[in-house]
């Protein structure tokens, strides 16, 4: 069966997965397509009284053609034992057809909720702010070692790979085609941002370490370049050089 409608999987304001259009809206729209022509049909003026005005002199108000109408509430078959006997609603068939269409559509949208639920395993990732996550790690009292950060990067790369393999860009569910491409990319980009932030964290530490080494070297260089003014000063410089780490 070819899909009849298109939907996008999107992020709701509550940081949850949702569809771009509520599935029930499709049910209401199609039912409305059945009901509106009936309403419009009942508004067509009856031309006979106008053409044969001499025969309809008693009719002053505008009349409309007799058309089938959907009952305002579900028709109930009259009790044959009741006297005087009531006739069944002649438009009951319209009610039955429209309700059958409605119920069929309601059954057809049920698999959408089940499919959306299959994405719940990615809810934590959807709610994740990669910048805040890595910022909190940098502020921890026990700083992560570089090896730990490298392990985390490798795990993130693997998670992104699995995500891209598992999640489709589009899929047909019931008579709907669901576009998942943008949501898939949104989740994958969070992993990419995490990778970048952790790599930047390592680079930042490397810069700090390099700067610290440079500062220590500069301090050593300044010390050994001092001009001794006496034997005590010379001895002090010699001892400083001898005590430098090898």
Asked whether the predicted pLDDT for residue 31 surpasses 60, the reply is yes
- The secondary element (H helix, E strand) that includes residue 10 is strand 5-11
Is beta strand 170-173 parallel, antiparallel or unpaired with respect to 176-179?
antiparallel
User: pTM for this one?
Assistant: 0.74
The number of residues making up the chain comes to 246
Percentage of the chain lying above the pLDDT 90 cut: 52
CA 64/CA 39 separation, integer angstroms? 12
Find where tokens 């609603």 sit: 89
36-58: pLDDT as tens digits: 888 888 777 765 666 666 555 55
Percentage of the chain lying above the pLDDT 70 cut: 87
Which DSSP state fits 169?
Answer: S
């Amino acid at each position: 069966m070819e899909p009849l409608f298109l939907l996008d999987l999107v992020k709701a304001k509550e940081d949850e997965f949702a569809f771009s259009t509520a599935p029930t809206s499709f049910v209401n729209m199609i039912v409305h397509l059945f009901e509106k022509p009936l309403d419009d049909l009942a508004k067509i003026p009856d031309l006979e009284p106008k053409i044969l005005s001499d025969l309809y002199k008693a009719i002053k108000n505008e009349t409309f053609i007799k058309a089938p109408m959907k009952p305002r509430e579900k028709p109930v078959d009259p009790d044959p034992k009741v006297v005087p006997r009531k006739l069944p609603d002649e438009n009951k068939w319209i009610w039955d057809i429209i309700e059958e269409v409605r119920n069929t559509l309601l059954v057809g949208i049920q698999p959408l909720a089940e499919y959306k639920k299959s994405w719940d395993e990615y809810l934590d990732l959807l709610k994740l702010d990669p910048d805040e996550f890595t910022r909190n790690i940098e502020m921890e009292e026990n700083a992560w070692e570089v090896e730990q950060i490298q392990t985390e990067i490798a795990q993130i790369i693997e998670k992104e790979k699995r995500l891209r393999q598992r999640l489709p860009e589009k899929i047909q569910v019931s008579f709907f085609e669901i576009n998942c491409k943008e949501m898939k990319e949104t989740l994958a980009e969070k992993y990419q941002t995490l990778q970048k932030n952790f790599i930047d964290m390592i680079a930042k530490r490397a810069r700090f370490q390099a700067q610290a080494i440079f500062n220590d070297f500069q301090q050593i260089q300044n010390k050994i370049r001092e001009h001794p003014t006496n034997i005590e000063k010379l001895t002090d410089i010699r001892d400083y050089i001898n005590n430098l780490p090898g």
